Structures are given as structure tokens and as C-alpha cells.
Amino acid sequence: MGNVKYIVVDLMNDMGFKHLTILIFPNFITHQEFARRIKRPNDKILSAGFVNLGNRSCYGASTSLKLKCDYEVDNMLLKLLFE
């Protein structure tokens, strides 16, 4: 299995509630371009990096967003995504 990219976003819904979500996407899209396409004004990108699909783990950093992997939080969100 290969690797993909991810970002963790602190989303704000229309009623003012916030929640974290992890979004994974293909390697040919930059972190910055993906974030630009999905981010709404009140959302905040918290971390970014890569996902090893073989062992389902987050690692690394995004040079375009200048954000690192938050290993504990990001891997917990990834685990929840695949459950």
C-alpha cells in the first residue's frame, strides 16, 4: 500500500459547534491547494502530513502549510476514521 497526504481541520458548523476531523487525499495535490479548496472562513487547519496506509499511521509535515504532524491527535483521528 502507498502513502497519501492528510490535514486535520478544526471545523466550525453553522451553529458554532467545533469538531476535529482528518481528511486524506492523493499525493499529487499539495497540502496548501487542498486546504484552500475545503477551508471555510471559521475553520482552522491544525496539522498536516502523510499517512502510511499499510500501517495506518500519520507522520511527517507539510512544507506548503508549514505544519507538522501531531502524532497523538492525528493518529487517534486516523484510527477513528478506519473503525
Q: How far apart are CA 16 and CA 72, in angstroms?
A: 26
Q: Structural domain tally of the chain?
A: 1
Residue 43 CA to residue 33 CA, distance in Å, equals 15
- Residue 59 domain boundaries: 3-82
The C-alpha atoms of residue 75 and residue 40 are separated, in whole angstroms, by 24
Q: Which of 62, 39, 38 minimizes the C-alpha distance to 50? A: 62
pLDDT in tens, 20-76: 999 999 999 999 999 999 988 889 999 999 999 999 999 999 999 999 999 999 999
